[in-house]
Structure 1
Amino acid sequence: MNQSSHNTATESAGAKPPGLGGIQGISVIASVLLPILAAYVVYYTGLGMPRDTTNQGELLQTPVNISQLEFTGEGELPLQLGAEKPKWRFLILPADNCDSECEKLLYTSRQVHIRLGEKADRVERLLVTATPLGAELQQKLQSEHPRLRIVQLPAGALQELKAQTLQGTIAESRALLIDQQGYAMMAYDNQHSGNQLLKDVKRLLKYSYER
């Protein structure tokens, strides 16, 4: 065999079949996207999950996208959750600025946050009111709940959000569980225990990725 034939044979042996690179690329993308898609299918439909692992909160029939709502944060700076790092969030919506029912929800969600341990950074808690809290109450809450963010939403937008997330027998003072995409998925009130909130959020953290 001459040198030219030898080179041709060597190149042929090392060449990849046509289209193999494209198939490999699709496989890599699928390996990343399919687990995420599967997590959402499992969560929203319950498909493939044992009956004893159903959600503990009231599942909203139509998830509500809050990612573009303009909240007012500390120093009256506007903020949109969709522009921040994706996290699971508990949004506390009180009946008033923050009555006793609101404080119970804050306590329950705080204990859940603590019990998440090393996964606590993947979850955030926000108290949403229409007007700023009084100085005394604000100081009290910041002292008792150092990881809580206190934000405002215009009264009209807050009432609309409450109406959109009205579910079953859930009380006006409620906690909404917001997914990483900014959708309100479930609602809780003081009829729900900390263990129920914890069970739901731990399951969701297990089936989702930190981004």
Structure 2
Amino acid sequence: MSNASSKTSKKLFIALIVVFILPVVLAKLALDNDWFNRGATNKGNLLNPVLDVSAILEAEAPKWRLVYTLPENCDETCENALFSIHQVWLALGRESDRAEAVVVITESSDEKAVARLSETPSLHTVNASKENVNNSFKSVSGDAIFVVDTLNNAMLYYPVDGDKDTAVMESRNILADVRKLMKLSRIG
């Protein structure tokens, strides 16, 4: 009788090992061998490492920011970017006091576009030197909208498109990411 009891206990012990240890081993193998697509919840392009834009935003209060640098010639792509950051800021609703839509103006920015910015008071303008802008955003070329955290670190960017419909769809992605970041952050 004890022989049958010991066989049953051995089977039970092996079953417990299989039930509890096998999933851990399979999970470790899956992670090491990339058997699945790693999930990413952000819709923008992640900047790794983050870009320190304190040289541009040093005098500003800590807030989440959507930052766009006004180019020398404000074409359709530029207009779409300005429209996008304004609409995203408006769509934040009651959370809009924690965020700010910022347009960085350099000495070579389009003067007509700068004059039109005064008609939209919710777009905050910051004057910066072309050198500071180039040093801050050196790793990302072209027109882009940046999400900047409360410590003045640009962490996500979104390329701007000349097509209005594509720009609107990208605005939805920006809004989703900003809402998620603001929900997870108690700062700003």
**TM tier, shorter chain?**
0.5 to 0.7
Aligned equivalents of 1:138, 1:55: Cα separation in 2: 31
Question: Which residue identity is paired with 2:143?
Answer: S
Give the structure with higher Rg (CA).
2
Structure 1, unaligned runs of 5 or more = 1-49, 72-80
Matched residues, number:
144
- The equivalent position to 1:105 in structure 2, one of 48, 65, 81, is 81
TM-score (norm 1): 0.61
1:118 aligned residue: 94
- The equivalent position to 1:146 in structure 2, one of 108, 117, 121, is 121
Aligned equivalents of 1:152, 1:108: Cα separation in 2: 20
Aligned equivalents of 1:132, 1:89: Cα separation in 2: 22
Aligned equivalents of 1:161, 1:142: Cα separation in 2: 25
- 1:151 and 1:98, CA in 2 relative to 1: closer, same or farther beyond 3 A? farther
TM-score (norm 2): 0.67
- 1:84 and 1:54, CA in 2 relative to 1: closer, same or farther beyond 3 A? same
2:158 aligned residue: 188
Q: Give the C-alpha shift of residue 134 in structure 1.
A: 5.9
Structure 2, unaligned runs of 5 or more = 1-37, 162-166
Aligned equivalents of 1:131, 1:99: Cα separation in 2: 17
Aligned equivalents of 1:159, 1:150: Cα separation in 2: 17
CA RMSD of aligned residues (A): 2.3
Q: Give the C-alpha shift of residue 85 in structure 1.
A: 2.6
8 A Cα contact 1:93 1:102, kept in partner: no
- 1:92 and 1:180, CA in 2 relative to 1: closer, same or farther beyond 3 A? same
Is it true that 1:203 corresponds to 2:180 in the alignment? yes
- Secondary structure of the structure 2 residue equivalent to 1:60: strand
Question: Which residue identity is paired with 1:60?
Answer: L
